Amino acid sequence: MRLPLIPLSAAFLALHANAQSALIGWSGTDCNGTFSNLAHACDGTCFDFGGRQSIEVIGAAATVTGFPAAECSGTASTLTTDSLDLCVPIGSDIVSFMCS
């Protein structure tokens, strides 16, 4: 049996969209505190880390890369997560980060 390409593609995209990760920056070291941002998509976009002490990965596994300089420049520190809703305390030397 041959399935139509359009419905199959729509189903694949729906599954793929549900598997996306996101990241939230927090002011506290245990993913708590008064300063949090909206969830950032894990799409390779660079974000400022200023004022944050921990990050929370939401959804699927992700790779979070921190940088000691603005605009995701400098020597990178990479963390690959394979668990959901992971909280990671981050040192103050991280100035910018991206998630993919």
Full pLDDT tens readout for the chain, 100 residues: 443 433 333 332 332 344 578 888 888 888 888 766 678 888 999 988 887 888 888 877 788 888 999 999 998 888 777 766 778 888 667 888 888 8
Rounded to 5°, the CA angle 42-47-48 comes to: 150
At residue 27, the pLDDT reads: 84
What does the domain layout of the chain look like in residue ranges? 20-99
Q: Is the pTM of this model over 0.85?
A: no
At residue 14, the pLDDT reads: 31
Give residue 32's identity as a one-letter amino acid code. N
The phi and psi torsions of 18 (rounded to 5 degrees) equal: -70, -20
- The hierarchical CATH code for the domain 20-99 is 2.60.20.10
